[in-house]
Amino acid sequence: MITRTRTRVSAALAGLVTLAASGGLLTATATPAAAAVTCNSPVWTAQYYANTTFSGTPKLTACDSAIAENYGYGDPAGVTLPKDNFSVRWSLTRDFGSGGPFTFAAETQDGIRVYLDGVRRIDLWRNVSTTQKKSVDLTVPAGRHSIRVDFVTWTGAANVKFAYAPRTSAAVDTVKPLAPTGVSAAYDRAANRATVAWAANKEMDLAGYRVYRRTGAVWTRVSGTALLTARTFADTPPPTGEAYGYEVRAVDKAGRESAGSTDGTVTTVDRTAPAVPAGLKATDGPAGIALSWQPSPGAAKYAVYRQRTGTTEAAAQVATVTGASWTDAAAAEKTGYTYTVSAVDAAGNASARATVSAARGDYAPGTPTGLTAAFTAGRGISLAWTAPADADLATYDVYRDGSLYREGVQGTAYTDVTVEHGTTYTYTVKAVDKAGHRSAPSGAASATTDGDKIAPAPVAGLKATAREDGVLLEWQANTEPDLARYDLYRGEWIPDDTEPGGGVWLFRQVEWIDKAATSHLYPAVPDGERSMYALAAVDQWGNTLATDINDVSWVEVTELGAPTAG
């Protein structure tokens, strides 16, 4: 009986025939005579010769998925060969991945030779009447290698088998698989899903894959305990807004895991709120109710809410701060409050709120701020300031040059009208509440009034000439730049009856004279009396030497007598 495990197509069909492996059988497809046969690795390329020396042109070139033939006493089907004295050569080149220990096993009647990269590994080259077998264990280096199997039948029955397989015992296989290649990672922001994909590993003893994820230096397996056989994996990373790296590792049947692949990286959407602020406490003091808490990792800011204790009013946000503390300076005195604080990250995710309560005591008001002082001619120095936040604020005290100047000032403005020319004044203000508590003094503000306090120099060259129409006064012009006018004084002698020849001059102001004048006729009545005239320069600030008549320029004159009748 002749058993044929494969069917062959005669070369006479179309000259050259391509045979493709399908389900262990060879299917034939007619091709043009000039076409070459290409067998994709790891399919074998089989060449059939009508001799035992593999010489000449093959009678058929085909593709075999395996070497397992039983020709019996005949020739291979599908090709015209003699039933004896023919040969077949199978060859392939494939990638062995990381390599490792393999077993090459051959069964044949008649002869077989097996080569790895041109080096003979099995040699059963003789005419036999029964099937002969041989296997050999060897180590295949990593990478691509070629295998060639030469079979020959001389006479009688013919059969041939050859297979190669990795040795997967953990005690024998000490070679790790190669790391997977072609790793990519894509991220779906809406679904918060990372999809990792990679290329097929070249290992023949591959058992599966594992996927790892990290944010720092430590990798964590996220693909579960079972090995993956597909080459994609979907993961849902924590939505923290951080960058996550993924790597894939191959695992062989000996349980050895490869090094990690190159990383695929995704950056997640941030939907994770920071931790609730811990250690929140509230302390009442003169400056207000001071809140403090421990910083929350990842927080960019903190939202502070306040609600009056014992009321149904909703908590209102009163502050947004970047630090881990805040003082409620606007809290009303003698009032209780409940505060809540939430940590908020840069993406706007807000944590749950920490809660604390505190009551505000009765303290001195806050310090007035922004004090200003400005002089206005004809009015005085005007003060203005900003009121502190204090519910029971009553009045203000104004201090001038370090001393209390005015108490009980209403409002946030006051004008000091009791100022002198050419003087600088410095002011501070204190707030006073209804209980009489006084704040610390505000910052100082100063203002200087216009002008000076120095009187013009005495008038020079003053002289008086008695005339029938009065007394003519003449003088040299005063050159003071701020000269405003001249004041003319007339003195009358008042005798002292208690002392012979004694008396005093009594001066009174009689004229205001224009600052441009250098003479003036005073219309004195001619009575022959002795009189005295004094002239004082006055500046635009009102400064004058006339405050002490002894300092001014004066002149004495005897007025003409009354005219006689003629």
Helix, strand, coil % in the chain, rounded to nearest 5: 0, 50, 45
Taking the CA atoms of 14, 15, 21 and 25 in sequence, report the sign of the dihedral they define. Answer: positive
270 CB burial (10 A radius; 0-12, 13-18, 19+): middle
Predicted confidence at residue 14, as pLDDT, reads: 27
Q: Rounded to whole angstroms, how far apart are CA atoms 233 and 223?
A: 8
Distant-in-sequence, close-in-space partners of 413: CB < 8 Å, separation ≥ 6: 382, 383, 384, 385
Predicted confidence at residue 564, as pLDDT, reads: 60
Does this model's pTM top 0.75?
Answer: no
Among candidate residues 445, 450, 380, 382, the one with its CA nearest the CA of residue 419: 380
Cβ contact 464:488 at 8 Å: no
Cβ contact 256:176 at 8 Å: yes
Phi-psi region of 310 (alpha: psi -120 to 50; beta: other; left: phi over 0): left
Predicted confidence at residue 565, as pLDDT, reads: 55
Q: Which domains does the chain have, with CATH numbers?
A: 16-166 (2.60.120.260), 184-267 (2.60.40.10), 278-360 (2.60.40.10), 369-448 (2.60.40.10), 463-558 (2.60.40.10)
What is the full per-residue pLDDT of the chain (566 aa) written as tens digits? Answer: 333 333 333 332 222 233 333 333 333 333 343 357 899 999 999 999 999 999 999 999 999 999 999 999 988 888 999 999 999 999 999 999 999 999 999 999 999 999 999 999 999 999 999 999 999 999 999 999 999 999 999 999 999 999 999 999 999 999 999 999 999 999 999 999 999 999 999 999 999 999 999 998 999 999 999 999 999 999 999 998 899 999 999 999 999 999 999 999 999 999 999 999 999 999 998 888 999 999 999 899 999 999 999 888 899 999 999 999 999 988 888 899 999 999 999 989 999 999 999 999 888 888 999 999 999 977 889 999 999 977 789 999 999 999 999 999 999 999 999 998 889 999 999 999 988 889 999 999 999 998 788 889 999 999 999 998 999 999 999 998 889 999 999 988 888 888 887 888 888 999 999 999 999 999 988 888 888 999 999 988 888 988 777 788 899 998 888 766 55
536 token code pair: 């004082």
512 token code pair: 């205001």
Q: Rounded to whole angstroms, how far apart are CA atoms 545 and 299?
A: 75
Q: Rounded to whole angstroms, how far apart are CA atoms 204 and 257?
A: 14
Predicted confidence at residue 494, as pLDDT, reads: 84
Q: Rounded to whole angstroms, how far apart are CA atoms 458 and 551?
A: 7
- CA–CA distances in Å: residue 458 to residues 506, 516, 534, 557: 20, 16, 10, 19
Predicted confidence at residue 563, as pLDDT, reads: 67
Which run of H or of E encompasses 217? Answer: none
Predicted confidence at residue 10, as pLDDT, reads: 30
Predicted confidence at residue 92, as pLDDT, reads: 97
Phi-psi region of 96 (alpha: psi -120 to 50; beta: other; left: phi over 0): alpha
Helix (H, G, I), strand (E, B) or coil at 334: coil
Q: Rounded to whole angstroms, how far apart are CA atoms 449 and 452?
A: 9
